[in-house]
Chains A and B, each alone.
Chain A
Amino acid sequence: MSKSFKRSAITISTILLLLLAACSSQTEPGPASTNKPEAPAAKRITVAVTQDSKGDRIDASTYNGARAVHSAIYDPLVEFGEGGKIGPGLATAWEVSEDGKTYTFHLREGVQFSDGSEFNAESVKFSLARTVANEENASLEIARKLDKVETPDTHTVVLQFKEMATQVLLELSQARPFRIMSPNAVNPAGAADGEFVKPIGTGPWQLDSFKEGAETVLTANEHYWKEKPSPYKLVFKVITDPQARVLALQNGEIDIAGGEVGNIPYESLPIFENNAKYKIEQHASTMSYFMVINQKNSFLADKSVRQAINLGTDTSKMMNGQGADVSGLFQSTVAFVTPTNQPSYSFDPDKAKQLLEAAGFQWNAGSKQYEKDGKPIQLRLVIQTEEYPEWKEMAEIFQSEMKNIGIKVEIANLERAAYYDALWTNKEYDLLLYRTYTDAQLPYRFLTSLFYHTDKTPGVAYQDAALTQQLDGIAKTTSPAEQQAIFDRIFARLHEEAMTVPVYYTKQTFIHSSKIGNFAFGDIEDNPVKWHQLTIEE
């Protein structure tokens, strides 16, 4: 045999070996493929979520994990209902003292946690103490003002505050961080600073398994007190890309998608309309999209310009015509909003132009823009599309509407991080598209965090002394009637000064396969669907 042949034999066998290795490792099934998700014991209802829910760290006293998962596992003392009405939850009744310093809660009897242990005053005391001990919650009113928690008997809890507290019930009704967790959820049991072990609540669901970045599986809490527990498993599957959620719904990988947890882009709705295989469910939301105005801009410091922008915005063009009903910053579903107390600007481009001319702006026929002292009105509109892809289209429509009234708008679509920097710290925008908060945070908490203005910490979205004074008034009364009167004035002030440009009222839209039955919306957006009532029909 020649040397060269030997060499080539070695070469060829090396290649063969490589190929062989390649084949064998290709046919070798991955570890994941051995346990196919198609054959579990209980049937699964799969829901798309946009973000990992951090299922192994859902501590009721923290902000870890998705809100929808928090509210599926834990119950609140009191529940937030439509129009801001507070109803009974784990507490059946409560009294608030005249001075707003003492809150007494009478707890529901016979309620058990998912581990079978009893729900009582001790568990409430533990949950509150744990939440207050967490530094992350320092800015909440309960954490700031709570003096002590007393438990006169096993089913009564008394909260004593150092000074008048007006937001207590609202804070307790939120998805977090004041929901009630079993003392056994931490180690050592009952220690406010104990190490979190596993989520144990009184809600309809308990944690079954969790795979980071992929899915959180919940099973029914056999001890659920309110209604019959679900016979199914509930799977929250992470799908970050909106279009991928649409496709996954179409090929049956998920059963439900939508809402804030896993929003379906509105432009894809026609795919599911008039299709027997799917049902579209819509429900009012409390959130609105609006533009934050930067007063530092010399044009926007002028009230006429702010009003002209409002008048020139045709919200009915937004979201394919769905934006028609915008009147004022808040939706009618928000607490303290009445049919008459929120004035608004209706679309009137001619009036907008008149306002601008009255304010001393001249029409430049060449550039088709309004200008003052040779300076045309040019505004930079900051948006982000990572969390709110629909803002791009809204911004483009707004841009062309502003062009019609002689205002030039440049759109800057920022990365999420840079966008929030612009909003909270560096203020590098003239207009910025943002959203209101939801449910119990509206309107008071939302308004204080964006419009409360002091010399030390300037208002984030707008600086107005009169508005700040009115907000102070809310914190000084627990009487709903007095609060209502103040909110009437606040809404009027927001409108009169044209402090924002309301753009769109969001809706909660869910799409589910028609084999899912008994779909019902939850009371708050953080608990958007009554998951435990869902059924699978054959």
Chain B
Amino acid sequence: MLRYAIGRLALLVFTLFLLTLFVFALMRLAPGNPAALLLQGIGAVPDESLIALYEHKWGLDQSFVQQYVTWLLELLQGHLGSSFVTGQPVTKEIASRLQPTLLLIASSFIVTVLFSVPLGIVSAIRENTLLDRIVYGGSVLGLSVPLYWLAILLMLGFGVLWPLFPIIGSGSANHYVLPVAAISLIQGAYFVRMIRSFTLEYKHSFFMEAARARGLRRRILYPSYLLRSMLIPVLTVVGTSFSGFFGAAVMIENVFSFPGLGTYMLDMIYNRDFPAIQGCSLLVAAVIFVLNFVTDLGYYAADPRVRLDKQRWEL
């Protein structure tokens, strides 16, 4: 277990390193000059001497390798550099944007899990009943709705025609209702479908057949057999869902002018604010990697089969 964990961890750090290099290179390959964009944005005329001044200030006149090494050394000391656009440390900028996004993702996640896990399981247990059909049909529909369209319809419906909720920003708990609803509906559809099919798979598996053959009543059969074996697939779906939630949050934040990490990231990409983008992608990727890692460790701990199947998991 320990060896496995250390191996995975080393690989994780290496992949993160590759990732920073990758994003670093991509941003510098992309067209658009951050200095010219900054000047344009603030209403100054971007002439060459001004652009050169900024590029020097930001170290963009150095070679690519030099820039990257500087950035990496800074990172090892815990600095992510300063944003081009605002001049503030990126860590501070991210910290101020992180809280609303985390709150948004966390509450969407909780709402999603609360309604979709029970629905998925119940619908599979009551396979082919009316309830199952409605839930299943709903999940198929939910998987096909364009998220941005849903968000706009929610805004129009519950923000304007029937003004129950505020639609801009993140000032109060009420501000979270519509964004959370939009994300949860879409992500919930995915959860329901995955969990329903996992449950069905287990329900029709040999050990359940065997248990049924032994004459176990449903009251014991489902909680002690089915639900227990469901724990791992449910954890998988849940553990790997972060990037889905994050992607949805980026889209939703932009529709609702929500001052979180998603709007910040898009804004910084458009402004070619290299340090800010670098910092954000490092953070998001690290979260995704760590969650994947923890999920894998969870398997390893929970499922004895994983330990045996070395070749498949020892990577």
Contacts and interface: CB of A to CB of B under 8 A. Distances in A.
B86 A54 contact: yes
B37 interface: yes
Interface in A231-286: 237-241, 243-244, 247-248, 250-254
Given A54-B86, A213-B263, A449-B47, A253 B32 contact: no
Contacts of B50: 136, 138-139
Nearest to A271: B160
A26 B169 contact: no
B37 A417 contact: yes
Contacts of B259: 211-214, 238
Interface in A406-460: 415-418, 420-421, 424-426, 445, 449, 457
Interface in B1-58: 30-33, 36-37, 39-50, 53
B167 interface: yes
Q: Looking at A386, A416, A445, which has the most chain B CB atoms within 10 Å of its CB?
A: A416
A253 B170 CA distance: 12
A30 B31 contact: no
Nearest to B86: A54
A4 B36 CA distance: 68
B166 A30 contact: no
Contacts of B231: 11, 14
Interface string A3-36: 0110110011011001100100110011111001
B270 A213 contact: no
B76 interface: no
Contacts of A247: 155-156, 159-160, 167-168
A135 interface: yes
Secondary structure at the A interface, as helix, strand, loop or mixed, is helix
Contacts of B113: 18, 22
Contact of A12 (B44, B227, B264): B227
B41 to A, nearest CB: 8
B97 interface: yes
B45 A421 contact: no
B308 interface: no
B172 A214 contact: no
A64 B42 contact: yes
Interface in B171-196: 171-174, 176
A314 to B, nearest CB: 30
Interface string B62-103: 000000000000000000000000110000010011011001
Contact of B31 (A213, A237, A421, A449): A421
Q: Looking at B41, B53, B168, B169, which has the most chain A CB atoms within 10 Å of its CB?
A: B168
Nearest to B113: A22
B228 interface: yes
Given A239-B257, A386-B270, A420 B37 contact: yes
Given A19-B114, A213-B97, A251-B163, A139 B49 contact: yes
Given A213-B97, A244-B255, A417 B166 contact: no
Given A19-B114, A30-B103, A251-B167, A8 B224 contact: yes
Contacts of B42: 63-64
A368 interface: no
A210 B107 CA distance: 26
A449 B45 contact: yes
Secondary structure at the B interface, as helix, strand, loop or mixed, is helix
Contacts of A237: 168-169
A91 B118 CA distance: 73
B106 A25 contact: yes
A57 interface: yes
Contact of B44 (A7, A31, A32, A63): A63
B223 A11 contact: yes
A402 B212 CA distance: 76
A67 interface: yes
B122 interface: no
A65 to B, nearest CB: 8
Nearest to A5: B224
A251 B169 contact: no
A37 interface: yes
Contact of A415 (B152, B225, B270): B270
Contacts of B107: 26
A240 B254 contact: yes
Given A12-B227, A213-B259, A386-B270, A253 B167 contact: yes
Nearest to B211: A4
A424 B38 CA distance: 13
B203 interface: no
B110 A32 contact: no
Interface string B138-162: 0000000000000010011001100
B110 A248 contact: no
A30 B176 contact: yes
B36 A424 contact: yes
Contacts of B172: 30, 32-33, 36-37
A418 B53 contact: no
A299 B218 CA distance: 81
A33 B173 CA distance: 5
A7 B228 contact: yes
Contacts of A420: 32-33, 36-37, 40, 46
Nearest to B163: A251
Given A213-B263, A418-B32, A445-B45, A244 B171 contact: no
Contacts of A8: 220, 223-224, 227-228
Nearest to A38: B172
B173 A29 contact: yes
A244 B167 contact: yes
B270 A417 contact: yes
A236 to B, nearest CB: 12
Nearest to B45: A449
A232 B164 CA distance: 27
A421 B33 contact: yes
Contacts of A213: 96-97, 259, 263-264
A253 B257 CA distance: 13
A214 B175 CA distance: 13
27 contacts: A8-B227, A11-B224, A15-B227, A30-B103, A30-B172, A32-B172, A33-B174, A36-B171, A51-B41, A64-B42, A138-B49, A214-B171, A215-B169, A238-B169, A239-B169, A240-B263, A241-B257, A244-B167, A247-B155, A247-B159, A248-B167, A248-B168, A253-B168, A254-B168, A386-B270, A417-B33, A449-B47
Interface of B: 30-33, 36-37, 39-50, 53, 86-87, 93, 96-97, 99-100, 103, 106-107, 110-111, 113-114, 152, 155-156, 159-160, 163, 166-174, 176, 220, 223-225, 227-228, 231, 254-257, 259, 263-264, 267, 270-272
Given A63-B42, A240-B267, A421-B31, 15 more contacts: A11-B231, A12-B227, A15-B227, A19-B114, A57-B87, A135-B53, A136-B53, A138-B49, A212-B96, A213-B263, A239-B257, A253-B166, A253-B168, A416-B32, A457-B48
The 3 A-B pairs of least Cβ separation, nearest first, read A417-B32, A8-B224, A213-B259
